[in-house]
Structure 1
């Protein structure tokens, strides 16, 4: 797969000197120690680094789930640094899709109903069946989470995230609970969404092999960006082995 040379260099996220400190009482933990970063439209970015290096904290701030201790950050032209709770809720609802390591599906709802939880409140949603078809689960939409494999449940979670047609998709260890074969299916789904819809996608992982499917790779260490790499060519998720 070729690099995204012709992508519009729209800056979707920008941070300046972003910091985050957690006060545990006896000690302060500096999760982010001054992060300057740009994420661009339509790109798939992989964030690599050891546990505690700041990856999840950054994604939670960009997604409006957490607030920084210092610095500034923007979504497109809108600064969100001091946005109110109501503004952040609207921002998450209208612009951001989340995929986490654990699927967070409602056990008493079938796949279609789990996706419908999002489409009922979105501005311009897909039909739940359409979103499930996109992730290859059109034949499983009436099944409940307990009747599905881990990979299928994660793909339902992806369908739920994309059903509101988000501008950005933020994924925190989406294959962390899956074996390599099932993880490849999930990564293929994310790659397809990025390629077909141009959804700006950021994927946190400990798995260095996954970097090969990214347009750019951002390596974190001790709350800072250690380095940024750009792939001249990308592998399809099905070509990645770990």
Structure 2
């Protein structure tokens, strides 16, 4: 697969390891093979982009890595914990303590301010950062007391990122985080994700069908028809501010 050079470490530690992951959805009349024998490693502190068209298996894999779904066959490890052997209670604890999720749609509570939306997570986390600190990291220090209706789409997505990182997760899993945004706003959101990866060292995986975003990554994992088509290591990464589409 190729091991990225991250922070000068020639042998980065593995965060996720999958072996032979398959996922089959049985709709009754037909079986849909969402994943077909995926072997993948993601590394500590890595910024990985999972690239491919809709239906190629990216979101299914991300949901399995995040403990939201289980594969039909194969094994998944988070560090030394085998997620595919974990109980529901163990998976709940894993999601709560280790994983931050960012989705295409922001899922903010309309009646709560930006700060209060972030505090929904900090109230249940083990050692959370202050909600204001999380919002500052994503560039919203001046918007903490604004409600979602008073924020732009890009600002709402950055609140969602702040909410995801406020519990200090080991990994940040982003599913089409710029999919509902225009290019200019999307770049601002990507800068926030980029900063989280660089400053907090959070292992970051971003799903997208937008090939331009791949230039930001340490590694680009391209999917097609439920399988990994190729893996590319970027020798030189492009900062988010230079991304255009």
Alignment deviations for residues 1-25 of structure 1 (CA, whole Å, 9 cap, x no partner): x963513510000000001010111
**1:166 aligned to 160, 169, 174, which one?**
169
- Residue 127 of structure 1 is matched in structure 2 by 130
1:118 lines up with 2:132 in the alignment: no
1:232 lines up with 2:225 in the alignment: no
- Residue 31 of structure 2 is matched in structure 1 by 28
Alignment deviations for residues 97-150 of structure 1 (CA, whole Å, 9 cap, x no partner): 000000000011110000000000000100101101111111111111011000
1:91 lines up with 2:94 in the alignment: yes
Taking structure 1 as the reference length, what is the TM-score of the superposition?
0.98
- Residue 42 of structure 2 is matched in structure 1 by 39
Shift of the alpha carbon at 1:197?
Answer: 1.0
Task: Report if aligned partners of 1:3, 1:233 keep a CA contact under 8 Å in 2.
Answer: no
**1:102 aligned to 100, 105, 109, which one?**
105
* Corresponding residue pairs, total: 241
1:188 lines up with 2:191 in the alignment: yes
Taking structure 2 as the reference length, what is the TM-score of the superposition?
0.97
Corresponding residue SS for 1:202: strand
Task: Report if aligned partners of 1:3, 1:234 keep a CA contact under 8 Å in 2.
Answer: no
- 5+ residue gaps, structure 2, are none
Give, in whole Å, the separation in 2 of the partners of 1:148 and 1:26.
45
- Residue 6 of structure 2 is matched in structure 1 by 4
- 5+ residue gaps, structure 1, are none
Give, in whole Å, the separation in 1 of the partners of 2:35 and 2:94.
22
Q: What RMSD, in angstroms, separates the aligned Cα atoms of the two structures?
A: 1.1
Structure 1 runs, 4 residues or longer, greater than 2 Å off: 2-5
Alignment deviations for residues 7-58 of structure 1 (CA, whole Å, 9 cap, x no partner): 3510000000001010111000000010000000001000001111100000
Task: Report if aligned partners of 2:6, 2:12 keep a CA contact under 8 Å in 1.
Answer: no
- Residue 211 of structure 2 is matched in structure 1 by 208
Give, in whole Å, the separation in 2 of the partners of 1:5 and 1:237.
18
